[in-house]
Amino acid sequence: MSSPTSVKLAPPAYIDPRIRRKYIIQFIIQIWFSCLPAAFLLYWFFYAELETLLPYITLTTPFSFRGMILNWGWKMPGLVFSILLPFIFLAIYIITIIWAALITKIYIGFLNLRHKPIEGVFYRSEKDKDYVYWNRRNLSRIFLNWLLFSVPFTFLKKTFAYRFFGVPIGKNTDMNHCWVSPEYMEIGDNVKIGQAAGVYSFQFEGDKLLVAKVIIKDDVLIGPQAVIYPGSIINEGVTLDGGCFSDPFTEYEAYGVYHGTPAKLIRSKKPNDSNTSQNSEK
């Protein structure tokens, strides 16, 4: 049994096993820091239950959320607490997302200070610092992406997987059902990226890694299972049919319709055609 694609399709993040093993301790420490607010809030809200379940552990906190209300002279009915429980868990989840995103951004900022990220062709070797730090940035995003893309809260994904890290994502852009690289990416307004499409700012070729920015301008429609490779520039109003893919560093003519593998221009449409289609969807 499979789950909805909007739940599963996290940003693509390749990690070299050699680099993952080398920095696994730092990765675990990052996860630990990211979970601190959730642990504190669970302890705060459910102190009484923890004390009952763990009688042999001394808990020093003298009150819980309900305990505070009892101290104010009002006993919270069990039914009220049960009704509030889903909202408590949702609040804990959102706070954990925000905190994990902040920890991840701080850590990536630290990595960028040590070695500035650049576009280019890198060797897949531990001796190539550009390759190593590209992998380390990917590794640092894994836990945050797991939090974001393991649940069906699509409204959080663009904000905390992309915009929070400085990736320009325009208004009315739908990219919840596809793979889109989390860096070296620029996406305009009214862009629709189809189900299971892939937009990659990186590509492997033998012992080399290519990293180059992808630019997708306004009113672009990318069909399902289409693949966009690094360095591509997709101009305004372009339509890429489902299943087609681009060669690296391909520039697509504005308001062109493309089809095939690799994608070839099959016709051009008027600018008003794109606007009309967008308005009809609304």
Residue 40 belongs to what H/E stretch? Answer: helix 24-45
**Distance of alpha carbon 174 from alpha carbon 95, whole angstroms:** 24
Q: pLDDT digit string (tens) for 51-64?
A: 555 555 554 444 44
Which of the four pLDDT bands, split at 50, 70 and 90, describes residue 82? confident
Burial group, residue 97, by CB count within 10 angstroms (0-12, 13-18, 19+)? buried
pLDDT of residue 75: 59
Instruction: Report the percentage of the chain scoring pLDDT > 90.
Output: 61
DSSP 8-state symbol, 199: E
Judged against a pLDDT cut of 70, whether residue 193 lies above it is answered with: yes
pLDDT of residue 5: 42
Which of the four pLDDT bands, split at 50, 70 and 90, describes residue 48? low
DSSP 8-state symbol, 209: E
Cα 79–Cα 40–Cα 44 angle in degrees, nearest 5? 35
Q: How is the chain split into domains, by residue range?
A: 1-166, 170-282
Beta sheet of 179-180, edge-to-edge order: 179-180, 198-199, 227-228
| Lowest-confidence pick of 32-46, 47-61, 225-239 | 47-61
Per-residue pLDDT, averaged over 240-262, amounts to: 92
CATH of domain 170-282: 2.160.10.10
DSSP 8-state symbol, 155: G
